[in-house]
Amino acid sequence: MLLHYFLCFLVSMVPLIELRGAIPYAVGMGLDYFTALGICVVGNMLPVPIIYLFARKVLHWGTDKKYIGKFFTFCVEKGEKAGHKLTQQAGRGGLFLALMLFVGIPLPGTGAWTGTLAASFLDMGFKSTTLSVCLGVVLAGIIMGIVSLTGVHIFGL
């Protein structure tokens, strides 16, 4: 049982999979949903400070490197362009809610990793980024829990 909770914790830290994979795994293994949700939220939030503080710096560092420069430049330009566009549309005050919904709606390409990187390009503060991403992660966990528990109830897995 403890091994399954630990696996949920690890899966929730994997980029792109995050709670989209960890919560259905927990429900499928018959783990207590609320305990699994808490463990998955902690696991998903663990890399957020590292991403916020270092990912943008690493991308800027790699822009002039021989083999990775084009990709890193593309990522930096895309992130800054998207950040400016979102700021113009949502306004500075709407960024908190927009980031929370971006992280919270469990679609491919959204989540804590992508949301935190976007927030670093938007120069959102560390505290507001962390709070917005955390609320989004909880929202994603609730959505995935509802979907997973409904699937188990309907299909009787």
Q: What pLDDT does residue 1 have?
A: 86
pTM for the whole structure: 0.86
Condensed to tens digits (0 to 9), the pLDDT of residues 79-119 reads: 777 677 767 777 767 888 988 998 999 888 788 988 898 88
Q: Which amino acid is at 113?
A: W
Answer whether residue 157 shows pLDDT above 70.
no
Spatial neighbors of 37 by CB under 8 A, at least 6 apart, are: 23, 26, 138, 141, 142, 145
Answer whether residue 138 shows pLDDT above 90.
yes
Burial of 62 (0-12, 13-18, 19+ CB in 10 A): middle
Average pLDDT of the residues of the chain: 89
Please state the domain extents for the chain. 2-155
Please identify which residue in the block is written with the tokens 């990793």. 113
The kind and range of the H/E element at 11 are helix 2-12
Residue 13 — very low, low, confident or very high, per pLDDT cuts 50/70/90? very high
d(CA 15, CA 135): 18
d(CA 125, CA 52): 10
Q: What pLDDT does residue 92 have?
A: 65
Average pLDDT over residues 12-25: 92
Residues of the chain with pLDDT > 90, as a percent, come to: 59
